[in-house]
Each structure stands twice: as C-alpha cells, then as structure tokens.
Amino acid sequence: MIRVIVTGALGRMGAETVRAVTAADGLQVVARVDPGFARDDGATTNTGECGCGCGETEQTATPRDFATLADALAAVTADVLVDFTRPDVVEENLRCAIPAGLDCVVGTTGLADATLDDLAGRLADGQCLFIAPNFAIGAVLMMQFAARAAAVLPKAEIIELHHDRKLDAPSGTALRTASLMTAAGAADPVPIHSVRLQGFVASQEVIFGAQGQTLSIRHDTTDRTSFMPGVVLACRRVVDATGLIVGLEQFLDL
C-alpha cells in the first residue's frame, strides 16, 4: 500500500485528488493538509483517534486532517506527497517533505528552475521529485504533438485560457509547451497569450503558421476529473523513480 499525503486538500484540485487516490487500488490517503483545517485554538478538525476511548491513534482508510505539513509528518507515516497548493507555498512544503524521505508529486506550477535544481540536489538516493505542468493525458499529447509540429513549422504562438482564479500567467502548461517546441526547432521565444475568465477550466491552443496554411492543435479541459488518472499514475510510478523528473510523458513512455 502506498501511503499518500495531499497538501492543498481543501482546494478544488486537492479535493479531487483525495477522492481519486482514495478510490484507487493500492493507494491510501493517510493525511489531508490545508490551512483551512486549523481552528481558532490551533487544533485540527480530526484527531485520528481510534474511537474506543483509549486515546491511541490509528491509520485507517479515513485520512487525518492537519493545518500544516510539518504536523502531518510528525503524526503519520507516508510514502508520497501530492502537492496542489500555491506558488508561494509549494517550495516550503517540498523543503519539509524531502528531508522526511517522501517521494513528491507536484502539480503546483511557478517554481523557478534554480529552486528546482536546489531541491533536486537535496534528494536522497532513490528519492524522486516529480513535477507535472499538466496531469491530463490529452494535454500531454497536445504538448508532444506541438513539439513534433515545431520541428517542421517553426513559427507558432500559444493561447492559453484558464479560470479567473488561476494565479500564474503564463500557465505551467504553456511554458512547458513552449520549451518543448523550442527544443524541437521552433522560433525562440514562442509567444504566449494568457486569458483569465470565468467559465474556463483549462484550455490551450497552439497555432502554427506557414506559407498559405495554418495548423491548430488544441486541448480543452472541461472537468478537473480529467487530471486524476495522471495523478494516480504518478503516485504509483514515483516510488520506483529517482531524481528530478519533469512531465507526465516521462511516466507514459512517450
């Protein structure tokens, strides 16, 4: 059984992750972490006591709730951290989880390359830090198709559209797509246009232009459940991986 801690558990992606991991064979959510679990007195909403009155705690299929990752790590045994928090929170979580020996699955975007390199240097032998700009299988294929097209159609631009609560712009998906396209031969930099409006979940279109023709490659996410097969796959694969790994395509063998 792979024991998982989910940070950002009260957010939309975090809540979906808890549901998906709980339903997956071979995975167990042992702790949900979110500042929203803290009460005014600093306690948490779920002590995890076994219910017989002895005061002992147990790890069951019902996860325990904590306001901070440090509190969770002090109370439960886990194998994997899944982080869907904020760009200003994820680094601190990783600096807490890596010394504790957890393999990390990160869907929060916004970490600088220098920060990733520093964190990767802190990994123990056999430990993995996995970063995915996007966990939707279709979005990963969209990025791969765009990179292949860029090898022969080097002029392109990216339009990415997200809900109005998304904090970073451009999105991690757009930045990753541009990086893959540049490596394949696209003109550098690939222009990225960001839209933040109500009604969107996540969409991205890559438009190529050439003499007398255009080519569009587009992916639309209409529901956050589309990310969950990728999250579950990452939880299973990360425990056997090592080092810094970027992109779900690495676990899909694309």
Which entry of 155, 163, 166, 193 is annotated as an active-site residue?
A: 166
**Cα(115)–Cα(93) distance, integer angstroms:** 13
The yes-or-no answer on residue 166 being catalytic is yes
Exactly one of 162, 163, 193, 219 is catalytic; which is it? 162
Q: Which is it for strands 213-221 and 202-210: parallel, antiparallel or unpaired?
A: antiparallel
Q: Which two tokens mark 252?
A: 């899909």
3-state class (DSSP) for residue 239: coil
Reported residue count of the chain is: 254
Cα–Cα distances (Å) from 9 to 82, 158, 199, in that order, read: 9, 31, 23
Longest dimension (CA), the chain: 77
C-alpha span between 186 and 253 (Å, rounded):
23
Q: Which two tokens stand for residue 73?
A: 């790590």
Closest CA relative to residue 246, chosen from 145, 153, 130: 130
Provide DSSP, 167-209.
Answer: --SS-HHHHHHHHHHHHHT--SSPPEEEEE-TT-SEEEEEEEE
**Residue of 33, 27, 37 whose CA lies nearest to 93:** 33
Q: Active site includes 155?
A: no
Q: Hey, what are 93's tokens? A: 């979580």
Residues designated catalytic: 162, 166
